[in-house]
Amino acid sequence: MAIYEINGGKPLNGSVTISGAKNAAVAILPAALLVSGKCRIENVPDISDVRILLDILEGMGADIHCPESHVVEIDCTAVHCTEPDRNLVQEMRASYYLMGALLGRFGRAHVALPGGCNFASRPIDQHIKGFLALGADVDETEEYVALIPGQEGLHGGRISLDMASVGATVNIMLAATLLPGQTIIENAAKEPHIVDLANFLNTMGARITGAGTDTVKIRGVNALRGGTYAIIPDQIEAGTYLAAVTAVGGNVLVQNVIPKHMECITSKLQEMGAKVINYDDSIRIMRTGKLRQTTVKTRPYPGFPTDMQAQVCVCMALAGGTSRLTESVYETRFFGYCTELESMGASIRISGKTATVTGVDHLTGSTVFAHDLRAGAALVIAGLAARGTTFVEHIHFIERGYENLVEKLRALGADICRVEDES
């Protein structure tokens, strides 16, 4: 298995271009199941989660071509399968979006429970609540979810989510787009990729309003037509590079971003001592002085993203004073990576949902294990900032969501390489 070898202590300088949003791509690609005709989707990130999803769709009968880099042409007209490959589904978390897409397209679905990063208990009860409100009968086991029309058939409905679940919001939107009547999602998630999915569906002929607010309305249509759509830049990839410069030091222009999406992240990095300059579609970040302590609590968008929790923790570990980091989205997300950071010299105390991080003078290179996608990215940042050599194992988690991470960091002056582990 491959590992990352990092010789730390080198500041990052130059420019980096951010790829298309992973979280948007893994929702938009299943949405193509709803479209009658060919979709040309641009700015698609070249990451393992996308490749797995395309394999799933192709196995179901989709006609897929990649005529150029970061472009996918997909025609799902010939798809008739409602039970995607179990083994592939279990390789990624976002495969559960196939439930909503298949229910919307065929009125039924039989989908294995997904895999992906195991950093917390993430039940799909809100997804099920949505499907029931749309008139589906649900058979949920420990291995799969089966959906069929209920006695009154499938129809629009009103759903008030118990929490602002991104996954449930996406699945309900997918299921409702082609159903008769109006569907209203209350307490909907507001993340940028929710808006991106709605924009994609509307481009193809859907009637969705309110995306980006806490109330999303979907007026069902008879069919969606093919078309062209470009995915938004990846907020979390951009945030990861911003956090890396904050932790390591340097001066980097982060290109192909939407600065408005980044404010929840950049405001905290500025509090810690980074200098941030926003342009139309790029952000310059600089850090030369000492880092300062801060307090962060993860929240649904527009709050600080849970997917940036681990990366900012590395910055806190190198900041003066004592910082506090509270996780309010996934209560067990601290597990794993904090132990790895402590092996590098970080001082972290966890009590319930809060980590108290006392800054240290430096981190020291070590052999560490990526337990999930974002935790793995944080360990890379820690390795870049540390004295000595760091070996990051289980990098398949990282490559689920970061395109050409090694190449992009090397272009910024980092001493990092991907090597085959011979042990």
Q: Which residues are catalytic?
A: 117
Which tokens is 131 given?
A: 């499907």
CA 343 to chain centroid, in Å, comes to 27
User: How are beta strands 158-160 and 182-186 bridged, if at all?
Assistant: parallel
Rounded to whole angstroms, how far apart are CA atoms 331 and 90? Answer: 23
**Which amino acid, 149?**
P
Orientation of helix 97-106 relative to helix 22-31, angle to 10°: 20
Which tokens is 416 given?
A: 């990092």
User: How are beta strands 275-278 and 282-287 bridged, if at all?
Assistant: antiparallel
Give the side-chain half-sphere CA count within 13 A for 70.
16
Burial of 260 (0-12, 13-18, 19+ CB in 10 A): exposed
The dihedrals phi and psi of 3, each to the nearest 5 degrees, come to -135, 165
Q: What is the DSSP letter of 324?
A: E
Give the side-chain half-sphere CA count within 13 A for 280.
0
Rounded to whole angstroms, how far apart are CA atoms 333 and 342? Answer: 16
| Residues 161, 163, 167, 168, Cα dihedral to 10° | -10
CB distance 68 to 93 below 8 Å: no
Instruction: Put residue 277 in one of left, alpha, beta given phi > 0 → left and psi -120 to 50 → alpha.
Output: beta
Rounded to whole angstroms, how far apart are CA atoms 227 and 41? Answer: 8
Residue (of 299, 317, 320, 422) closest to 379 by Cα position: 317
Using DSSP, state whether 243 is helix, strand or coil.
helix
